[in-house]
Chain A
């Protein structure tokens, strides 16, 4: 299967069977995020993830240059099988979807985290992470 950049509606359809319980308005436009709110919200993710290039991998892979990257493709040594074989590319929309549905979408991933239920908070996280690139 070749790697492709899923569009969100396509992704939602593809995953629908496994997402019977997920109540997410996947087609709603993402709210506008705020970098400073994102800094505060992202603090909780730092048990495992750092987006700063000088830190590197932690309990989870680095989030430096996350968007556009194929899931499970860095040299991080502890990816789950589901992540390594997902054939997904990280986009803001995909991350938004996953953060809303961890444990449902990409079930079996090593990331054990409660869902981020607030859409504005997910948007803050995403706009914060977008800063960390070359």
Chain B
């Protein structure tokens, strides 16, 4: 049935046999693991064998678990390539986290919207920024493909009915309900602004209060349906069904209280989200994220798709990564303050993207630190995101209340003020518009610990996949017929999260790639 089961000139038989053996071992091991582990509270993420299925109840070409952007993009692309597509959604509401998100898609390289609004961008600038901001964890090949395909992705979204308004917003957080383009990440922050020409790359359907995801998913889901994809709600996926060679044959699902077996001729796409709402997985894999609240994402992020992929032999990547968004802004005026660690030392440019600030405080400062402001740049009133840790008429009084090392905070602020008054920040390169000396009492410290501040958190770890969305096993081989997209996979988003729209863009782009690969697969 699968490519791997037939010896070809490129894959001599002995090697194939060896691969098959390894794969069987892996399945057995994964099965045992799943059976013995408390993570299998959904016991049954362990894969079934094809021979244990009496008969298929139904057949399709591409079978998709989850109706967020990864799943819907895969369904659209499958239909465009003449394949049957069936999307299974566990809940009665479609769209997953994508529909609850801001709906921002990170696009660049000179999209028609960027050009129409007078912004110059290039594939190279976009790629250089993404590579630099991703640091050591950069998924280099995926970033390269994504940037090269960015213009085509913009066209694809528009072809499927997504509408963007020809309006730019200069705000760091998109609160302009009529705008569709903004700087959604750290492009203008040091050191990135000197490494790659900044451009606004946040593309979002106009919406109030960052609810663009609702419109994005409404339109794309309608397009999928119009193209003939089947989309079913309240169907719970239970287990993968594997052929004896380890390739994927289909799924066991629960529909209207009955178990059914659906054959997937070309493949199964796991697009069921991450694991932010799975307490055991979060504690085991991502202890830093486990300290944070709120857990930001749809109730479906239970890790089921990831566990199913692991049980079929898939390897995981970056399971401790995620976003920890600490939204100090808006108002942007508070960014004139300083963010200090528990020693009273400044530790980051305060105008950084809020995912970068959250990451710094959570992962590198052990979740201890404060935002220090003076009366001129304080929040206008109480704010749900932060609580006052201390307030004092003098900096030294504030430092005493915070129990900081003697003289440190005063030194930090004196150094900051001496340069801020000249519009400079030699330590971290904060942009001039967010620089002002802190002089006017009272001085206030806001507690930036995850126990007190608002840290919106989502997981980025998931199944390792090729640039075509194929799930990779322990030996680096693709598992035939098994795909993952969105937060079931380890994709473009890495920690720190450096721009909004990377996760939506990743799900959309690699969901499409998975469907394209599956359509061309020999079966």
Contacts and interface: CB of A to CB of B under 8 A. Distances in A.
B510 interface: no
A56 B100 contact: no
A58 B454 contact: no
B296 A47 contact: yes
A43 B93 contact: no
A46 B295 CA distance: 10
A59 B454 contact: no
Contact of B299 (A40, A57, A58, A113): A113
Contacts of A46: 294, 384, 454
B297 A43 contact: no
B330 to A, nearest CB: 12
Contacts of A48: 100
A19 to B, nearest CB: 18
Nearest to B296: A47
Contacts of B296: 44, 47
B384 A112 contact: no
A133 B277 CA distance: 31
Nearest to A80: B93
A93 interface: no
- The range of chain B's interface size is 20 to 34
Interface in A13-68: 36, 39-40, 42-48, 50, 52, 55-59
Interface string A96-134: 000000000000101011100000000000000000000
Interface string B298-331: 1110000000000000000000000000000000
B225 interface: no
A43 B91 contact: no
A58 B384 contact: no
Nearest to A102: B299
B100 A59 contact: yes
Nearest to B293: A43
Contact of A44 (B92, B93, B295, B384): B295
Nearest to A107: B92
A60 B129 CA distance: 35
B297 A47 contact: yes
Interface stretch (B71-79, B80-88, B208-216, B467-475): B208-216
A47 B100 contact: yes
B92 A59 contact: no
- Residue from A43, A45, A59, A108 with most neighbouring chain B CB atoms (10 Å): A43
Contacts of B454: 43, 46
Chain A binding site: helix, strand, loop or mixed by DSSP?
loop
- The range of chain A's interface size is 20 to 34
A42 B384 CA distance: 9
A112 B208 contact: no
B318 to A, nearest CB: 23
B211 A59 contact: yes
A43 B294 contact: yes
B298 A112 contact: yes
A39 B299 contact: no
B92 A108 contact: yes
A46 B210 CA distance: 12
A52 to B, nearest CB: 7
A112 B294 contact: no
Nearest to B384: A39
A49 B295 CA distance: 14
Contacts of B294: 43-47
Given A44-B294, A44-B295, A47-B296, A57 B384 contact: no
A46 to B, nearest CB: 7
A57 B209 contact: yes
Contacts of A110: 93
A114 B99 CA distance: 17
B92 A40 contact: no
11 contacts: A39-B384, A43-B294, A43-B384, A44-B294, A44-B295, A44-B296, A47-B297, A57-B208, A59-B214, A112-B92, A112-B93
Interface of B: 91-93, 99-100, 208-211, 213-214, 277, 293-300, 384, 387, 452, 454, 456
Given A46-B384, A59-B213, A78-B214, 19 more contacts: A43-B294, A43-B456, A44-B293, A44-B294, A46-B294, A48-B100, A50-B209, A52-B384, A55-B209, A57-B209, A58-B210, A58-B211, A59-B211, A112-B91, A112-B92, A112-B298, A113-B299, A114-B277, A114-B299
Interface of A: 36, 39-40, 42-48, 50, 52, 55-59, 78, 108, 110, 112-114
